[in-house]
């Protein structure tokens, strides 16, 4: 079945460092890909999404490009801030990928800590 694998954390960076969180997926068909962010004590929030190959999702300085050839959707940010400290989840939607329900399949999450 469909699955998402993301790098294990925690990831600790200094402020203004470059961030990459790796995410790869296994799916039949052409899933949409998502990054969600969870700040401490809160629910998940959509950070960005991409619906087809070579699409780039971007928001709040974060970017991720849908790479079909490498089945990847890595999250990047050029200069992280302390306020970016959170858990980041990669996910895919099986709606157009052979799945019948349109569920989101989540990775296990990567905790990011940014130090001043």
Of the candidate residues 22, 63, 106, 113, the single one contacting another protein (CB under 8 A): 106
# of chain residues touching another protein (CB under 8 A): 20
Q: Report the residue from 14, 26, 102, 115 that binds another protein according to the rule CB under 8 A.
A: 102
3-class secondary structure, 93: strand
103 near another protein (CB under 8 A)? yes
Does 88 bind another protein (CB under 8 A)? Our answer is: no
**By C-beta, is 63 or 96 nearer to another protein?**
96
What lies within 8 Å, CB to CB, of 107 at 6+ separation is 4, 5, 6, 23, 89, 90, 91
List CB contacts of 9: < 8 A, sequence separation 6 or more: 87, 109, 110, 111, 112
SS3 of residue 82 by DSSP: helix
Q: Which stretches of the chain bind another protein, using CB under 8 A?
A: 32, 34, 36, 42-46, 49, 51, 89, 93, 95, 101-104, 106, 108-109
């Amino acid at each position: 079945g469909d699955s998402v694998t993301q790098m294990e954390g925690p990831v600790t960076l200094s402020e203004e460092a470059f961030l990459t969180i790796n995410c790869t997926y296994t799916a039949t068909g052409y899933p949409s890909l998502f990054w969600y962010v969870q700040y401490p004590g809160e629910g998940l929030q959509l950070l960005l999404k991409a619906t087809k190959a070579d699409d780039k999702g971007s928001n709040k300085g974060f970017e991720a490009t849908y790479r079909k050839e490498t089945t990847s959707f890595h999250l990047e940010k050029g200069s992280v801030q302390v306020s970016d400290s959170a858990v980041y989840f990669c996910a895919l939607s099986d709606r157009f990928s052979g799945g019948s329900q349109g569920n989101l399949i989540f990775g296990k999450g990567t905790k990011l800590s940014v130090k001043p």
